[in-house]
Amino acid sequence: MVALGGGGVSRAGGGDYNSNHHHHLGQQQQQQQQQRHHSNNFPKFEPVDQQLRLVRMLLSCAGAVAIDNLDLARAILVQLRALVVPHGSPMQRLASYVTEALVARLSRNTRSSHFQGLIADHSLQQLSSATRSDMLEAFWVFYEYIPIGKFTHLTMNQILLEAADRERAIHVVDFQVWYGAQWPSFLQSLAMRPGGPPVVRMTAVGSSLRDLQEAGSKLLDCARSLGVPFEYCILRVELEEFHAGMVELRDGEAVLVNSLCQFHRFLKRDLDQFLQGLRSLRPRLVVMAENDADHNSPDFMHRFMACLHYYSAVFDAFDASLHMPGTLPGRKKLEELIAAQKLRNMIACEGSERVERHESMRAWNARMEGVGFRAVSMSHKAINQASLLLKLYYSDGYTLTNQEGFLILGWRGMPLNGVGAWI
């Protein structure tokens, strides 16, 4: 473990492809019925007949892939490639990426970085300077124009502040520090606490030493300017290799675990073991944000339909939020480098290659309760702050739902991201 203090750096001790599909008429008829049902449940981006034609062709192609009818799948892909336009309507753009993923799945050629999921922090450092610049711009556009980033930071911070309200020493274990964007407002709130701020220690978990150091430098400067006693510790490790024994615990500290869209990466391994490890830290609170989606089904067709439905809403939201001429280049990078990276992995890959394994907040709650955690309901303040954020700064299409104690941000009623907390 590496500890940063006083602005310096010092050492501190410290399903494989499913081969079980059957070629029989009953299965094809069932899939066709499902396709007709799901094709009528997508946002209306363009004339209905054009959208439905694309959706039905995508579903038909996926259905053919699912039952290994390769000739039919290839024939439909030829038609899709003639129809989709990468720079057209939201549905056209989405269909272009989905078609690309189906081609890769059919050919089992998924070694390209396009199919490896959202670029991890260590991979970002390996990119060319131009590609890295595009990636950072995509994240900036996402944070500035789409409410998901600010919604999750605002809500998670409020939950953490309430949990640490009377603590004099807190230890935040953060699984996604990402340049420290979440934490300045958190530190500012602590600085304003009656009686003075607590002592704060943060353990930042990640694989890119450069990113972790940059975040630490910024947060140390921020804490110093606010008068908050602050220690920043780096735990450099591949996320999938993390275990709770790596975290240094100290007497008298209240442990707060924070994860922004990271826990789903543990779903391809023994998640219960990871969660039981978190329990061993005896945290005062675990708070996480994740895509509220059903993208982890072992059944390809089920996962494909859920993915298509979810990203139809995502692309519609992007289009509504980034429709001015000056924002179009940023939207293109956002779709290509963030949204498409995730959906291509969900559709094209299986087994250990499939890393984008999102589940619903309800499913996460079942997993958390299964190892002994108990869900904490959202406070009125957390809900009101998130509601005000959407009303003041974002399109009317965004929705907020308090669902079974979890706060869900959606687009026209379609859940996108959720925040939940457990003790």
pLDDT-derived band at 234, boundaries 50, 70, 90? very high
Last residue of a domain, one of 353, 373, 401: 353
Q: Do both 288 and 312 map to the same domain? A: no
User: Which structural domain range is residue 150 located in?
Assistant: 146-293+359-422
Q: Please, how many CA atoms are within 13 Å of residue 305, restricted to the half-sphere of its CB?
A: 21
**Amino acid sitting at position 365:** N
Predicted pLDDT of residue 113: 82
Q: Place 16 in a pLDDT band, splitting at 50, 70 and 90.
A: very low
Residues 346, 409: one domain? no
- Same domain for 342 and 382? no
The DSSP 8-state label assigned to residue 379 in this structure reads P
pLDDT in tens, 306-316: 999 999 999 99
- pLDDT at residue number 28: 45
Q: What is the CATH number of the domain that holds 151?
A: 3.40.50.150
Residue 139 forms part of a structural domain: no
Number of domains within the chain: 2
Residue 158 lies in a domain: yes
Q: pLDDT-based confidence at 57, cuts 50/70/90?
A: very high
* Domain end call among 307, 333, 353: 353
Residue pair 219/180 in contact by the 8 Å Cβ criterion: yes
The reported pLDDT for the residue numbered 128 is 63
My answer on whether 197 and 267 are in the same domain is yes
**Domain boundary residue among 353, 377, 394?**
353
Same domain assignment for residues 346 and 372: no
Q: Give the number of other Cβ atoms within 10 Å of residue 127's Cβ.
A: 15
170 in Cβ contact with 164 (< 8 Å)? yes
**How much is the average pLDDT of 319-332?**
90
- The reply to whether 266 and 325 lie within a common domain is no
14 found inside a domain: no
pLDDT, mean over the chain:
88
CA dist 206 and 172 (Å) reads: 14
Same domain, 248 and 385: yes
